[in-house]
Structure 1
């Protein structure tokens, strides 16, 4: 009976942190993760893992995370360490200085983008194109927004980087609207705009890849878990250092090609009959798993379970760079 009530309380506690919109309750995958007393990393044990000047006993923390994940109340601050934003051997003062420097750097990057497209940072976001493929301004968007909301988008440009970046912006907006839409969190336009701002600034910074659909799924947890936009941006930037190859596609290969090959070999070894069945169905290349691997199962599991998966698996995306599968 005591165990029953403990599980009930844990479920209610999780629901309070990541509430689901009532109309989406039926469509959301059932969450299997439960907070486990003595195993899940709690706020008390997290704070106890720091020395007086701020050094973190990361080994102790990781052992507990492996056993039961991270309590929702501290996920954001814990992830900053798991993603490598902070060195566990740094002090409180070291981290405060580094955090302030990063916030100032993000502010400069965002201001640079805002000069080109003033809607950035306004609490709103774009879902329609503001320029054509050749850099010409689009006078009026389909939803009636005049192009001068995009700043110098009402002036033609020949700068290839600027053109490509501005072409990304409306696609980012369309993806933002679709991101974790079952969560009450994204009923707020301000929260959607925060996600759009971060992805837009990142697309400007990453000259090689820019923006690809699916990055919104990776960025969303950072936006939800971390209040400060600049801090959320740098967590996303750290995650992308490890995951950006997932989003690199060409005419001859896709970003997760090697992971699909690994999956094929794993299934062939552990379940030859299943592998042969997939071969017979022309599924031997495992392309059906493309999305699963690209966005790390964000759309196959509930929000809570996907975060738990990232945290506890031996080769988790958060702490180990060679995350491939969760076997």
Structure 2
């Protein structure tokens, strides 16, 4: 019997005609498996309460239809509480848009290119706070026509851009603006969406504003890869910002750096531990090659496989991951002054319903994970599953770290997102079982 293989998702994320070597998206919209518009709408009560458990399984099996992806992601990332009504969510959205507008205005006052439809790719300030007066900056800001030229559209003057700064916080922020611009122009350039300068500018604005909003992390390379899908999926800039901000709450530990360590090192250590448990022979081989620190896996963890998958498949992978590790306490954790891990000793935690949790989270609960514990993210098990899948090649062909990197680079475009998630779940179960016996 002939079966409909499903509709490709590539038509929703158009690739430039001249980019002929881009991996084709394997994700297919399949009736009965992919979360459809109808099934999504049917999961809400008339008041707007969402039965999140009802949709998690379908997302895990077949992803989300692109037409509703942005709406579903806001729930998966904890922007909205499933136990809220339509009216309550509308009120929250209105408040957040106002908050973003205020944030953007603060940044615009410090550097008027914010919100102007332009972006900067050259340094605007020195570490001492002096303006660089870089001709590229002046050109990008349309201020190269004279000493006091004023752009007609928004009143940006040379004197308002080239300002001497003494505040260390502002200096630090301004030092990142050109790096954000350099990364923005390299992000997802195979997509037709970024042929429009206003979309590049929107990405630059959000990342620049986030760097001011979260000064503890600021901006690091890789964040543009995480933010780009939000810009494409969510039409309103403020909504895209808050979706990105929620994703960064999950990811910011990877980007947080101190004088002694880089945040992602914790996950690399966890990856080494997992590999040692599930494939000790491979772990030993990698250590012999000098790769026991697993630095070759940094990119996969930092940008969640954006480089290993096509654009459409990376979105499919992300939503399956978030559905698998979904925690119904997510919204409450984000909105409360203390996270679960930071709650004062003796404070009560309402038990969560296992039916409202993702499959990965349920396994953590069944294996005795406590509220004070920080369970390993599914992304670490995804990388472990890729290493295990390439174990034979790594053991026989890798004679140095360059070989390890080459073998892992060769996976680009060949991975199957659903298979990778399923393998990650199996490894997670295996690891928890072995770790419990240890």
Q: Which runs of 5+ in 1 are unaligned?
A: none
- Larger Cα Rg: Structure 1 or Structure 2? 2
Contact 2:76 2:326 (C-alpha < 8 Å) held by counterparts: no
Whether the 8 Å contact between 2:120 and 2:137 is mirrored in structure 1 is no
Task: Go from structure 1 to structure 2 and tell me whether the alpha carbon gap of 1:126 and 1:235 turns closer, same or farther (over 3 Å shift).
Answer: same
- Residue 74 of structure 2 is aligned to residue 75 of structure 1: no
Judging changes above 3 Å, is the alpha-carbon distance between structure 1 residues 272 and 30 closer, same or farther for their aligned structure 2 residues? farther
Which residue is 1:102 aligned to? 96
Q: Secondary structure at the match of 1:20?
A: coil
Counterpart residue number, 2:7: 10
Give the SS at the match of 1:292.
Answer: helix
Q: Deviations over 1:175-214 (max 9, x none)?
A: 0011111111111111111111111111111121111111
Residues 116 and 150 in structure 1, CA contact (< 8 A), matched pair in contact too: no
Q: Name structure 2 gaps, 5 residues minimum.
A: 145-155, 331-357, 362-374, 383-423, 425-438
- Structure 1 residue matching 2:28: 3-state secondary structure: coil
Secondary structure at the counterpart of residue 183 of structure 2: helix
What is the alpha-carbon root mean square deviation over aligned residues? 2.1
In the aligned structure 2, how far is the partner of 1:272 from the partner of 1:31? 34
| TM-score of the aligned structures, taking structure 1 as reference length | 0.92
Displacement after TM superposition at 1:307 (Å)? 1.4
What SS does structure 2 have at the residue aligned with 1:63?
A: helix
Q: Deviations over 1:260-298 (max 9, x none)?
A: 112112222322332222222211211000111111111
Match of 2:267 in 1: 259
Q: 1:79 to 1:151 in 2, by over 3 A?
A: farther
How many residue pairs align between the two structures?
321
Q: Secondary structure at the match of 1:23?
A: coil
2:191 aligned with 1:162 = no
Alignment partner of 1:127 is 2:121: yes
Structure 1 pair 132/266, CA: closer, same or farther in 2 (3 Å)? same
Choose the corresponding residue for 2:23, options 8, 11, 29. 29
TM-fit CA distance, 1:55: 0.6
Structure 1 residue 153, shift from structure 2 partner: 3.5
Shift in Å at residue 303 of structure 1? 1.2
Moved more, 269-278 or 82-91: 269-278
Does the CA contact (< 8 Å) of 1:186 and 1:192 recur in 2? yes
Residues 203-282 of structure 1 mapped to structure 2, 5 A cutoff = 203-282=211-290
Q: Is the 8 A contact 1:120 1:197 kept in 2?
A: yes
